[in-house]
Amino acid sequence: MPLKTDPELREFLRKLPKTETHLHIEGGLPLELLREVRPSMPEPASWAHDFKYRDFAHFEQELLDWGFAWHTSPEQYHRSAKMQFERHLDLGVRYVECSFASGVAEFGGLNAREIFLAVKEAIPNELEVRIFMGIHHTGCGPEMRPVIEDSLTWEGFAGIDLHGPEDLPLEPWTAEIWAAARLAGKFTKAHAGEFLGPDFVRRVLDEVGVQRIQHGIRAAEDASLIEQLVTQGIALDVCPISNHKLSPGVTLENHPIRELYDAGVKVTVSTDDPISFGNNLLDDYEALHHYRDFSRDELVQLVRNGLDVALVEDELRNVWLAELAEHEN
Ligand SMILES: [Zn+2]
């Protein structure tokens, strides 16, 4: 059964000034580019609406295979990012937060700063983009630590995000580096609560001090954690279709974003890894309408949440908010 769709709603969504605050550059690789290096690459089986990954390893293995096949140089990153950003503009996106994986420097032999600069140079004038580096739980060994510390001095570099399998141990350097990043004026995030439960979400908040959570959907299982998120104003960058295809036990029909939203948690909507999930941002918004009964006004509120958390001056934010208000009933 394909994803439900409504052309009129889609057009409404396209016009809203939206944000995308949870996007992996490697996972956003356009299929056309992948086919330049793998001409016989079929449409991924995971693009089917009812597809479910067996586990994170299944997902990661595929993504690494595709991501590393293309992202072999700063120039390839540049082309990939440029095409992704152009597509954002076509969908009415005004603001993007994306990350590249520090693992490409660690395992792929690339220079992390050159990747950052290549992505930065791909940003079109009409789009605001903030670039993060994703670091996995064991990604700060002797070779990577100087690279990560250096990144905190890069001009225009937005911050860091904790990536990768959630069940690997949280190592002691994490809190230290995350604190150093904030001290350097960078923004800090972590992936949590996509696989592990509320305790891990609480740990990245309390021990690592992250300012925003990627996914965080399992926070819905714990009322006191929900209260903490609301009180501290911590937003969750949620990716419904990604969770539908990857998070154990989660489907669009039972997605906890509805409960989190109703409890007053600031949730935003993003795509995560479109090469793996076959989605774009409009698909994710539409899915919330069809499968979790988000009304048009509630979809507008989700867009507003994204504008609220965007790392921009209030002057620009207010321009977008005023534009968004024109689309409300
Ligand atoms: Zn992610």
Q: Quick one: which of 206, 217, 213 has its CA closest to 234?
A: 213
The average pLDDT across 109-123 equals 97
Is pTM beyond 0.95? Reply is yes
Nearest to 236 by CA among 223, 219, 254, 253: 219
Ligand 1: centre distance to CA 37 (Å): 25
Report CA(63)–ligand 1 centroid distance (Å): 12
Which H/E stretch holds residue 105? Answer: helix 103-106
Domain spans of the chain, in order of start: 7-320
In whole numbers, what is the pLDDT of the chain averaged over residues? 96
**Catalytic (active site) residue 194:** yes
* pLDDT tens-digit map of 8-36: 999 999 999 999 999 999 999 999 999 99
CA of 24 to the centre of ligand 1 (A): 6
CA of 142 to the centre of ligand 1 (A): 25
The CA distance from 270 to 237, in Å, is 7
Catalytic option among 194, 227, 286, 315: 194
Distance 22 CA to ligand 1 centre (A): 6
For residue 92, give both structure tokens: 């009415």
At residue 1 the predicted structure's pLDDT band, cuts being 50, 70 and 90, is low
**283 pLDDT above the threshold of 90:** yes
**CATH of region 7-320, choose from 3.40.50.300, 3.40.228.10, 1.10.3720.10, 3.20.20.140:** 3.20.20.140
User: Residues 93-102: pLDDT tens digits?
Assistant: 999 999 999 9
